[in-house]
Amino acid sequence: MAHILIVDDDLEITGILNQQVASLGHAGVEAHRLDEGLAKAGASAYDIVLLDINLPDGSGIDAMEKFRMSPGNPEIIIITGQVSSENASLALKSGAWDYLAKPFSHNELALHIRQALDYRREKKAIAQEFCSFDSIIGHSPVMMRCREKLALAAQSDAAVLITGETGTGKELFARALHEQSLRAGKNFVVVDCTVLPENLVESILFGHEKGAFTGADKAHKGLIERADGGTLFLDEIGDMPVPVQRSFLRVLQERAFSPVGGDREQTSDFRLIAATHRPLEEMADKGLFRSDLLYRLKTFQIEIPPLRSRTEDIQPIALFYLGRLESRYDTGQKRISDDFIETLAAYPWPGNVRELINALESAFAEAQHETTLYKKHLPVNIRLHQVTAAMQEEKAANAVPETSSAAVVAESAAQSASPNIRSFRAYKKDMEKKYFEELLPLAARDIDKACSLSGLSRSRLYELLRINGLRL
């Protein structure tokens, strides 16, 4: 039995869809607003979301990524009565399973649900059977999608484009893909396109014959030839010069190339993985990147999310790399204080996992022979961010609107009439503690759910819990 969330503002339609879902042997849950749907998706694991586009408080298409990042990592089926090619294109590009125009028949709905569930089962089976990806840390919903895509890509020989911000671990993903692919054990050749000198790039990629140019005193085997039988990884391909893109496109199509200064073609059987933090489609529109090469690269695309969008992965990543540091320096296992993890979780990590690793190495060096890591061991900018954020939230929470003189007089009179009334500060403190005592059970003592329900950041929530003598 699958769990299906139906998000549509038409109560009659949601009722009918829920009945149809039940007739197929599945459990349906209704939501009539976007915020209500997102709250329900965040509280339970759903297999499918039937999502309307035009909702009273926003666009379903704009919220697709939030639904996909919910605990169930569901497949999204867009349902809409306002059909347009633009909406269909946006929905499918955003990762929707399919796009259904109202009115649709019971059989149509049943077919799409069955196919989406079959796909979901097969995708998970492939991920579990073939690929563990032990080097990739994190089990947030968005990372589980990346793992599933890696597992699918590993079973083919298609070109893969890995995108993501600087520091997210694109090369780590590329290596993991190579190690789980049919070419595991063969060469994994890395080409950093950001440091390729334009006058020597063809020689580096294709190799050269002796005497091909001044200084070529012997023949040189290029990186494409070295990747024969294995994987060629073009890191930051967005920085590859346009003239070289043209030459490389032919190599990609024919798997044949000629060394500089050579008159015979050679072949190389390689699997291509490319990575970039640049918006290649925008660059192609401006003529800065060849669109025909982009089409060849995008046979299979994996987008790595920034660390700030998967904060639940910060702690396991930190523990994994701290374990490596303990082994490297033979220090024995260090204890980690709650405030150390809280401070890591509160920081936005603009440099992503790479910045986190550097911060952990800095903290480890700062602690030296101490047995416990505290937040004071972390770099100043990371600690300062937590303090600044807490001060800003405190200022916003305590902001008092301007009060008229008449209101002040009335308040003074009320206090005079009730001389034994408690101070506002004492009342606020008691009510604040009561609020958090009710919040924690509602959130199942889960920090992300508690933040979502309360609207507080992690750092502020941890601080208020500490002030009120409470713990998760």
- If we measure between CA atoms, which residue out of 437, 438, 435, 462 comes closest to residue 448? 462
> Residue written as tokens 């050579």?
262
In a shared domain, residues 207 and 300:
yes
Beta pairing partners, 266: 257
Whether residue 463 contacts residue 338, with contact meaning beta carbons closer than 8 Å, is answered with: no
The residue among 252, 273, 305 that closes a domain is 305
Whether residue 75 contacts residue 97, with contact meaning beta carbons closer than 8 Å, is answered with: yes
Residue 252 lies in a domain: yes
Provide the pLDDT for residue 225. Answer: 93
In a shared domain, residues 323 and 386:
yes
3-class DSSP string for the chain: CCEEEEECCCHHHHHHHHHHHHHCCCEEEEECCHHHHHHHHHHCCCCEEEEECEECCEECCCCHHHHHCCCCCCEEEEEECCCCHHHHHHHHHCCCCEEEECCCCHHHHHHHHHHHHHHHHHHHHHHHHHCCCCCCCCCCHHHHHHHHHHHHHHCCCCCEEEECCCCCCHHHHHHHHHHHCCCCCCCEEEEEHHHCCCCCHHHHHHCECCCCCCCCCCCECCHHHHCCCCEEEEECHHHCCHHHHHHHHHHHHHCEECCECCCCCEECCCEEEEEECCCHHHHHHCCCCCHHHHHHHCCEEEECCCHHHCHHHHHHHHHHHHHHHHHHHCCCCCEECHHHHHHHHHCCCCCHHHHHHHHHHHHHHHHCCCCEECHHHCCHHHHHHHHHHHHHHHHHHCCCCCCCHHHHHHHHHHHHHCCCCCCHHHHHHHHHHHHHHHHHHHCCCCHHHHHHHHCCCHHHHHHHHHHCCCCC
How far is Cα 184 from Cα 289, in angstroms, rounded to an integer?
31
In a shared domain, residues 119 and 267:
no
How far is Cα 135 from Cα 238, in angstroms, rounded to an integer?
26
Query: For 299-323, how does the pLDDT look when each residue is reduced to its tens digit (9 = 90+)?
Result: 899 999 999 988 889 999 999 999 9
In a shared domain, residues 27 and 85:
yes
In a shared domain, residues 290 and 337:
no
How far is Cα 161 from Cα 170, in angstroms, rounded to an integer?
10
**Could you give the number of structural domains in the chain?**
4
Residue 131 lies in a domain: no
Residues in the chain: 472
Beta pairing partners, 472: none
In a shared domain, residues 147 and 262:
yes
Cis amide bond preceding 141, omega within 30: no
Range of the domain at 386: 308-399
Residue 412 lies in a domain: no
Q: What is the CATH number of the domain that holds 439?
A: 1.10.10
Residue 186 lies in a domain: yes
Residue 136 lies in a domain: no
Residue 135 lies in a domain: no
Q: Which two tokens stand for residue 120?
A: 């979901």
In a shared domain, residues 150 and 291:
yes
Provide the pLDDT for residue 397. Answer: 61
The reply to whether the predicted model has a pTM over 0.85 is no
| Furthest C-alpha separation in the chain | 103
Q: What is the CATH number of the domain that holds 111?
A: 3.40.50.2300
Residue 130 lies in a domain: no
In a shared domain, residues 159 and 276:
yes
Q: What is the CATH number of the domain that holds 338?
A: 1.10.8.60
Q: Which two tokens stand for residue 159?
A: 């070109």
In a shared domain, residues 270 and 174:
yes
Task: Count how many Cα atoms sit within 13 Å of the Cα of residue 18 in the half-sphere of its side chain.
Answer: 15
In a shared domain, residues 231 and 290:
yes
Whether residue 435 contacts residue 429, with contact meaning beta carbons closer than 8 Å, is answered with: no
Provide the pLDDT for residue 384. Answer: 87
Q: Which two tokens stand for residue 409?
A: 């007089």
Residue 51 lies in a domain: yes
Residue 455 — left, alpha, or beta (φ > 0 → left; ψ -120 to 50 → alpha)?
Answer: left
Beta pairing partners, 300: 160
How far is Cα 81 from Cα 442, in angstroms, rounded to an integer?
36
Query: For 418-455, how does the pLDDT look when each residue is reduced to its tens digit (9 = 90+)?
Result: 556 666 667 677 778 888 888 888 777 777 777 777 77
The residue among 97, 124, 151 that closes a domain is 124
The residue among 70, 97, 124 that closes a domain is 124
- Splitting the chain (472 residues) into consecutive groups of 10 residues, what average pLDDT does each group show? 93 93 94 92 90 90 86 88 78 82 90 92 69 79 85 89 95 94 94 86 88 81 94 95 88 89 89 96 93 91 92 92 91 89 92 96 90 92 82 64 50 52 68 82 78 75 79 72
Q: What is the CATH number of the domain that holds 275?
A: 3.40.50.300
In a shared domain, residues 165 and 39:
no
Find how far residue 388's CA is from the centre of its chain.
26
Beta pairing partners, 54: 59
Provide the pLDDT for residue 403. Answer: 47
In a shared domain, residues 43 and 154:
no
